[in-house]
Amino acid sequence: MQKMLISVPEPLAIRFRSIIPTRQRSQVISHLIEKEIEKREKKLYECALEVEGDKSLNREMKQWETKTLQDGLKHEPW
């Protein structure tokens, strides 16, 4: 378990402490953070799908890749 120090507006902190029992606060905060992260990850995934489906952008990226592979620099194998 990782401890975190966060700041929230005082009115929100007061409401939080008055509604959420002491022994449930970490669980509630963890749940809310998890839901927000899932929502943002979903948006990123949907954006990536749109990029993959954009034929014009993919053609441009392919051209850029071809040009940079012929940049004259020797690429060391890892």
> Is residue 13 scored above 80 in pLDDT?
yes
Domain boundaries defined on the chain: 10-68
pTM of the model: 0.64
Tokens 């749940």, located at residue: 31
Please tell me the distance from the alpha carbon of residue 71 to that of residue 75, in angstroms, as a whole number: 10
14-71: per-residue pLDDT in tens?
999 999 999 999 999 999 999 999 999 999 999 999 888 888 888 888 887 776 666 6
Tokens 């899932």 correspond to 38
For residue 73, name the pLDDT band (cuts at 50, 70, 90).
Answer: low
